Amino acid sequence: MVTLKRDLGKLSGYATIIGILVGAGIFRVTGEAGALAGSAVPLAYLLFAPIVICTALAYSVFVSTPLGMRPGGAYIHISRTFGNYYLGFIAMWMKLLAFIGAISFMSTSLGEYMTFFIPETDPRLWASLTMVLFYGINLFGIRHYGMIQTIMLAVLIVSILVLVIPGLFVVNLKYYETLLPKGFSGLLAAMPMLFFSYAGFETLAQVAGETKDPTRTLPMIFVKGVLVSVFIFFFMAFVAFGVLPAETLAQSQSAMADAAAVYLPPWGAGIVAIGAMSAFLTSINGSILVPSRMLFVFSEDRLLPPFLAAVHPKWRTPHVSLIISG
């Protein structure tokens, strides 16, 4: 019987969790959140940190047990702990639909960013090509997925450093003289929107069945990966709202690029656009991975037709589930 292959290493694990977290949210919704919370957006990102870290700790405990050796993540935990497969199915089915919706959103957003480099092209064309590309990457094996994810994350990190480090020297602290410029109600109104940035960090648990030594490596990857992402969110938002008024960022379709244009040379906007594209790409790559593994484990437990648990004999990936979810 052909099974999934344990070929995802520690570095690829970090690339998965950080790549999914530092994705569409920070580049897409940060400016929009400024309309509600003003310059309190960096504070809002920090306020989420304890909640997300506590959740990451819970996942760390789960993946350190023998159940953490299997694919399926929270579904395995719910179904085996409570002895109710249907409860786990219902809970994770909603998450599966959310991931499919997120893939559509991020692919379209990537298409819009591509028009920065190639104007007068249809964003939907880029979205479709992106989906086909990452379907192929995920089809050809978890090792190829991890390698591509790591390379794209490296590009993203370089872009973030180019954006943040020079920006720290030009931050105007007068924009932070008022802690809550839109009041506490404005802060609360912006937080649901900003939580989108933290969505998906539990993705790594879905591929525990393909991770090398998951009960030892995944717990630390969860915690450290979330902490790194929190710092990235805070400093990116701190720089953006420290160099431009919140009102300006709120009206922008590309808040980070507009902020970078204040202190970087003309080519700086291109660097930020590349960073944003890398963020979307790492998120899309990881998000395509997850629904296929959910369908795979549902099928293994006979909650869905058995053909969804088929594994490609050469690439050792759930190719049928990838087609359905992608």
Kindly report the three-state secondary structure assignment for every residue of the chain.
CCCCCCCECHHHHHHHHHHHHCCHHHHHCHHHHHHHHHHHHHHHHHHHHHHHHHHHHHHHHHHCCHHHHCCCCHHHHHHHHHCCHHHHHHHHHHHHHHHHHHHHHHHHHHHHHHCCCCCCCCHHHHHHHHHHHHHHHHHCCHHHHHHHHHHHHHHHHHHHHHHHHHHHCCCCHHHHCCCCCCHHHHHHHHHHHHHHHHCCHHHHHHHHHHECCHHHHHHHHHHHHHHHHHHHHHHHHHHHHHHCCHHHHHCCCCHHHHHHHHHCCCCHHHHHHHHHHHHHHHHHHHHHHHHHHHHHHHHHCCCCCHHHHCCCCCCCCCHHHHHHHC
Burial of 287 (0-12, 13-18, 19+ CB in 10 A): buried
Q: How far apart are CA 80 and CA 72, in angstroms?
A: 11
List the domain boundaries for the chain.
10-325
Q: How far apart are CA 75 and CA 207, in angstroms?
A: 12
Residue 64 near residue 57 (C-beta atoms within 8 A): no
pLDDT of residue 237: 93
pLDDT of residue 51: 86
Q: How far apart are CA 316 and CA 144, in angstroms?
A: 12
pLDDT of residue 238: 95
Q: What is the pTM of this model?
A: 0.90
Sequence-separated (6 or more) residues with CB below 8 Å from residue 114? 121, 123, 126, 277
Q: How far apart are CA 174 and CA 83, in angstroms?
A: 56
pLDDT of residue 175: 92
* Tokens describing residue 159: 């872009």
pLDDT of residue 273: 77
CA torsion sign for 2, 60, 28, 161 is negative
Neighbours of 64 (CB within 10 A): 16
pLDDT of residue 129: 92
Residue type, 172: N
**CATH 3.90.25.10 at 10-325, yes or no:** no
pLDDT of residue 30: 82
Q: How far apart are CA 204 and CA 13, in angstroms?
A: 7
Report residues of the chain scoring pLDDT below 50: none
Q: How far apart are CA 284 and CA 19, in angstroms?
A: 9
| Mean of per-residue pLDDT scores for the chain | 87
pLDDT of residue 164: 94
